[in-house]
Structure 1
Amino acid sequence: MAGRINDEDIALVRERARIDEIVGEYVQLRNAGGGSLKGLCPFHDERTPSFQVTPSRGLFYCFGCGEGGDVISFVEKIDNLTFVEAVQRLADKVGVQLRIVDDGRPGIEPGLRLQILEANDAAAEFYHQQVSSSEGIIARQFLDGRGFEREAAETFHIGYAPRGGHVLRDHLLAKGFSPKALVSSGLVREKGWDFFQGRVLWPIKDSGKSVLGFGARRVYDDDRLPAKYINTPETVVYKKSHVLYGLDLSRTNIGRKRQAVVMEGYTDVMAAHLSGVDTAVASCGTAFGSDHARLLQRLMGNNGALSGEVVFTFDGDAAGRKAALKVYQGDSEFVSQTYVAVEPNGLDPCDLRIQHGPDAVRELVARRIPLYRYVMDNVVHDFDLDRADGRVAAVRAAAPLVTSIRDSSLVDGYLRELSQIVGMDVDEVRREVARTRRNPAPPADLRPTLRVLPEVADPAPQAPAAPSMPWPDPADRRLAAERGLLKLLLQRPDLFDADWDLVEPADFRHPAYRAVFEAATSVPVVPEGWSQAVSEATSDPIVRQLEVALLVEPVLSAEPDARYAAAYAARVRLLSVTDDIADLKSRLQRTNPTTDRGAYNAMFADLVELEALRKELISAGSGSIEVQ
């Protein structure tokens, strides 16, 4: 509403709206003596009445949870309304025409809001009756195909809009509604045509069960509107960013259980409630946003602590991952913890109920995981966790998720979970996250890791660029043993006989060093022209350039011998085996010894052998060699 409500009108609303009558619409009240009434509190779960109403003072108070106030604050709390919305609703109910103190913007015509709500209620009843008509058979067939019986259609008051262009309009005009009210409610278009034609409809209600608008699904192939779903246009009572489907059924349970389960569609909400998930809601014609978050938070109570939970159900496809990222970016709107429930086979809750029954829907919600964990799993999914560099890259990509956690006391636990996901030591993960925090990547870098593709036309195909061999850093101490061994191999090939097999190509972690070793071991050692033969066996120009550098760099030992070469080889092999052990431990950490016992035992046996080999290599490589 534009402007400010006149104070005298607010006082008149309080006077005319009897608190015992308003509260009595939600709570069964009994005489408690002394002019007071008692009942079970609607704001918390209780078995013994502690909720008291005192009509003479116009106040209510609960001795159990501490909620209290006047008739306006009661409507605010019970129906999740703002102060202005509560005053409007009560004014419509008791016949007070609100005067608005003008602030320069047009206001709402007095009484129009009530007319729209009454028109919506009448339309909902008309639509619901049409489901049983001869034309409504297509709606009945749709509901039956989605696993919903007649009782479900009654519970959710499902409707059907006839295909005739003026059927609803003529019905409501005959009942006394004005053309202006029908257009203002979004039920009829400016030119007189019914807004919904030939569609199955779901009435969208507020927590007080007033019909605010409708969601409609296409059921005819020749529907003139191509959109699968359409919703009531924005009106003075229907704002899609402020409403949630199913709120009328779930409001009390959300407050009592301090849980809200956010679905992606109307039939999913139906399936959830019929399966026993009685806190399910869905956004209507728009993505779940900050206003929805605040709406749910008010229902669950906002006490400044991370209590309660909001569970999102997403499809397991790219669209679902994109939706998860959007919700995660708005996670700061919640005081409650946020979770995700994703069916492994990609079934939505409605299909899950059809194929596996109500228990499967309840189990889906019960298996929820923290939202940050779901996003984190998707971030690391694209990396090869069987490789050390892949694990480090995964940690760096997931680091912004950890550092964005609002509750700093939880960060350590999240670091441990990330270490378990990627299979790294938690201290290593902590160091990488700290390094990433000091040098953060642009926020947009997170999107490609979730494999969310921009909606643009495919570019013209291009020839793939030729892969370029990376140049190794000569100062990298982690690769010093590899560099030293290759210098020795290229400059003193006589120390490596034909049967020499202490090192394999896979033992070299840098691809350029590996390519040098493969070229050097592919040609026989000859007294003359050895370096030239190695160069000719090398196809990559970068690797040939590296061979030249290795040939001219001095070898650390002035008089190397075969024993010195074997010790250097053992050092390279040791580093490789150490990496293998780390990789194997990572896989063991990610393998369940109960459900995958065979694989776990096999990997454990390999680990024992590698540890034994590691000890041998430590002994063999302990000779007097220096590493740069």
Structure 2
Amino acid sequence: MRYSDDIIEEVRMKNDIVDVVSQYVKLNKRGSTYFGLCPFHNEKTPSFSVTPAKQMYYCFGCGAGGNVFNFVMEYENYTFGEALKHLADRAGVQLPKIEYSGEAKKKAERRAALLEINKLAAGYFYYQLRRESGRQAHEYLTGRGLSEETIRKFGLGYSDKYSDDLYKYLKSKNYSDELLRDSGLFNVDERRGMYDKFWNRVIFPIMDVNNRVIGFGGRVMGDGKPKYLNSPETTIFDKSRNLYGLNVARTTRKNYLILCEGYMDVISMHQAGFTNAVASLGTALTSGHASLLKRYTQEVLLLYDSDDAGVRAALRAIPILREAGVSSRVVNLKPHKDPDEFIKALGAEEFEKRLEQAMDSFMFRVHMAEREFPMEEPQGQNRFFERCAQMLLELSDELERNLYIEAIVKDYRSSGISVENLKKRVGALAMKGTPAEQRIQPKPVGAGQQKKKESAAEKAQKLMLTWLVTYPGIFDTVEKYIQPSDFVVPLYRQVAEMLYQQHRDGDVNPARLMNAFIDSEEQREVSSLFNATIHLETPEEQNRAFSDAVIRIKDESLKERNRTWDPTDIQGLQELVKAKKELEELGRKRQQLHISFE
């Protein structure tokens, strides 16, 4: 049993998709549609669209799309039930107590089981740390200056040196090998079978913002490799959209968050009273991380290691945060390498001062760029100010740009640069035009999979469905020639049947239609059916495109009927002959196929 369609639709209608998506993604309005950077893949040029009229989103880069439920499910890694409850709470809708059945229930139960396995594993690791066999790990943590309270607060633990301890423990709880394999806690090979992924390591449980254990990090105590070992991505663990320590930091009273590199950095800062520290999980900062941070703060202090790798990480993070609408500053820890080392050496008060002295991120980029040029030479200075002009052109706000021009001139006045000089350089560069940003392509669908090339017939069917959703007024014309049975791709036919029924009911509503699809791949495919594009400017081009689509859809439908025709079916043969004649007649009269996309 599932929630009624009326309840689902009430929740959807009370959560405007632009309002919901704006909590995660910075959107800019262009005409009747909003655009922003896609939170589901890294990109520099916005290809993520939100259409209020359809109450749907779609990314033309990676193909992610759907209604408000799909967005929350995809972004938060929620099941449909969890997304429904989240949005119902947001809109103040009281959900009846009800149980799911079928596919939705199965997915929810599997997800709940994986969360329970991780919770049990975290408890097991915590227990092992307090046994005699965990003494070395406990001494390692206390030797790093961690108190018992901090160890308990972060649930730190130890994985025993035997590589099947956790496996035996969880098997005693009657979990299947298939489920344990999907948890990310175990490796499998032909010789050894299934064995613990983490063994003889200090364990750092990773929690989501709702304090649920979703993964683990393990640190070797000696010189073994790798130094840190992290859980792989699973149904419940997405590294690009979770941050270590955010479950605690999100409740901070500070008006900014501190972004650093590792588990120990976060833990040592929290112990020293800086409870607004978070870290990415063994990956570079992504747009997903930035969107997550945006939900909890307007400003981030970047606190990466002071070595070259840390500088590069900061330089990569700054534009990603800016695109998400988060301002940033960069903290200088020199002469110390990381916050843990700094706090141990100089204390919390000095660390607080460094935070207060954090450098504006744009000026940090300027000063780092200076290193690339021989500033003692006129040519080097000239190339440096050319780079500054390029960076200044990234700022669309004129007042902001002028303020940074003045700040650069103030710092480099000894090189002979003036405000007028730099403004002229920026203006000249703007007139020339700057090279288009290199687009970061999304990963192909599936590991090692090539996306199947779309046929002309599939394109025609997609266009027709997009037109029917975008311009419902054309239904009466389309129905004269095309019925849902003419859509030969099964999913397209299913969607067409639903749209035609909505038309008969007097309300073409693609966002409501999406409620019927639970599978994520189906959701993406259905979304693409409502976002097919073709450039049409004149009424003549519209009519030509419409007649081409009608004839191609009918032709493909006839071919499909011919392929599946039973040679013993004489009546079927007669119907095929009649349909072929009608198609030929339609081709001769294609000029009469008029349409108005208004």
Please give the range of the TM-score, normalised by the shorter of the 2 chains: 0.5 to 0.7
1:8: which partner in 2?
4
1:116: which partner in 2?
114
Alignment of 1:457-606 (within 5 A): none
User: 3-state SS of the aligned residue for 2:149?
Assistant: helix
2:202: which partner in 1?
200
Give the percent of matched residue pairs that are identical in Structure 1 and Structure 2.
27
State yes or no: 1:433 paired with 2:426. yes
- Structure 2: distance between partners of 1:119 and 1:94: 26
Cα offset for 1:415? Answer: 0.3
User: 3-state SS of the aligned residue for 1:272?
Assistant: helix
CA contact under 8 A between 2:79 and 2:108: conserved in structure 1?
A: no
Residues 245-274 of structure 1: CA deviation (Å, up to 9, x unaligned): 001111122xx5442211100011012212
2:400 aligns with one of 378, 391, 410 = 410
Q: 1:86 to 1:312 in 2, by over 3 A?
A: farther
Cα offset for 1:275? Answer: 2.0
What one-letter code is carried by the residue in structure 2 that aligns with 1:8? S
- Structure 2: distance between partners of 1:247 and 1:10: 36
User: 3-state SS of the aligned residue for 1:316?
Assistant: coil
State yes or no: 1:318 paired with 2:314. no
2:183: which partner in 1?
185
1:472: which partner in 2?
none
User: 3-state SS of the aligned residue for 1:160?
Assistant: strand
- Structure 2: distance between partners of 1:170 and 1:395: 64
- Structure 2: distance between partners of 1:188 and 1:134: 24
CA contact under 8 A between 1:131 and 1:140: conserved in structure 2?
A: yes
Q: 1:283 to 1:84 in 2, by over 3 A?
A: farther
Q: 1:408 to 1:228 in 2, by over 3 A?
A: farther
TM-score (norm 2): 0.55
CA contact under 8 A between 2:265 and 2:338: conserved in structure 1?
A: yes
CA contact under 8 A between 1:392 and 1:432: conserved in structure 2?
A: no
User: 3-state SS of the aligned residue for 2:258?
Assistant: strand
User: 3-state SS of the aligned residue for 1:213?
Assistant: strand
- Structure 2: distance between partners of 1:131 and 1:168: 13
- Structure 1: distance between partners of 2:181 and 2:390: 49
TM-score (norm 1): 0.53
- Structure 2: distance between partners of 1:434 and 1:323: 30
Alignment of 1:156-175 (within 5 A): 156-175=154-173
**Highest relative contact order (Cα 8 Å, sep 6+), 1 or 2?**
2
1:335: which partner in 2?
325
- Structure 1: distance between partners of 2:81 and 2:250: 18
What one-letter code is carried by the residue in structure 1 that aligns with 2:186? V
User: 3-state SS of the aligned residue for 1:330?
Assistant: helix
User: 3-state SS of the aligned residue for 1:252?
Assistant: coil
1:277: which partner in 2?
274
1:241: which partner in 2?
240
Cα offset for 1:83? Answer: 8.1
CA contact under 8 A between 2:159 and 2:200: conserved in structure 1?
A: yes
CA contact under 8 A between 1:380 and 1:422: conserved in structure 2?
A: no
State yes or no: 1:357 paired with 2:347. yes
Residues 25-82 of structure 1: CA deviation (Å, up to 9, x unaligned): xxxxxxxxxxxxxxxxxxxxxxxxxxxxxxxxxxxxxxxxxxxxxxx99xx89x9676
- Structure 1: distance between partners of 2:134 and 2:354: 33
Structure 2: which 5+ residue stretches go unaligned?
Answer: 12-67, 89-95, 439-598
Structure having the higher Rg: 1
2:506: which partner in 1?
none
CA contact under 8 A between 1:163 and 1:197: conserved in structure 2?
A: yes
Cα offset for 1:108? Answer: 6.6
1:291 aligns with one of 269, 279, 288 = 288
Q: 1:287 to 1:83 in 2, by over 3 A?
A: same
Alignment of 1:373-388 (within 5 A): 373-385=363-375, 388=378
Cα offset for 1:198? Answer: 1.0
Alignment of 1:94-109 (within 5 A): 96-97=99-100, 99-100=102-103, 109=107
- Structure 1: distance between partners of 2:385 and 2:348: 38
Q: CA RMSD in A?
A: 3.5
Cα offset for 1:354? Answer: 1.4
Cα offset for 1:406? Answer: 4.3
Structure 1: which 5+ residue stretches go unaligned?
Answer: 16-71, 102-106, 301-307, 446-628
Residues 435-477 of structure 1: CA deviation (Å, up to 9, x unaligned): 33344676899xxxxxxxxxxxxxxxxxxxxxxxxxxxxxxxx
1:348: which partner in 2?
338
User: 3-state SS of the aligned residue for 2:296?
Assistant: helix
Q: 1:344 to 1:284 in 2, by over 3 A?
A: same
State yes or no: 1:397 paired with 2:387. yes
1:146 aligns with one of 140, 144, 147 = 144
CA contact under 8 A between 2:8 and 2:84: conserved in structure 1?
A: no
User: 3-state SS of the aligned residue for 2:194?
Assistant: coil
Cα offset for 1:89? Answer: 8.0
Alignment of 1:219-238 (within 5 A): 219-221=221-223, 223=224, 226-238=225-237
State yes or no: 1:210 paired with 2:200. no
User: 3-state SS of the aligned residue for 2:285?
Assistant: coil
Residues 203-249 of structure 1: CA deviation (Å, up to 9, x unaligned): 1111111001111112244x4xx221111111110011111100111
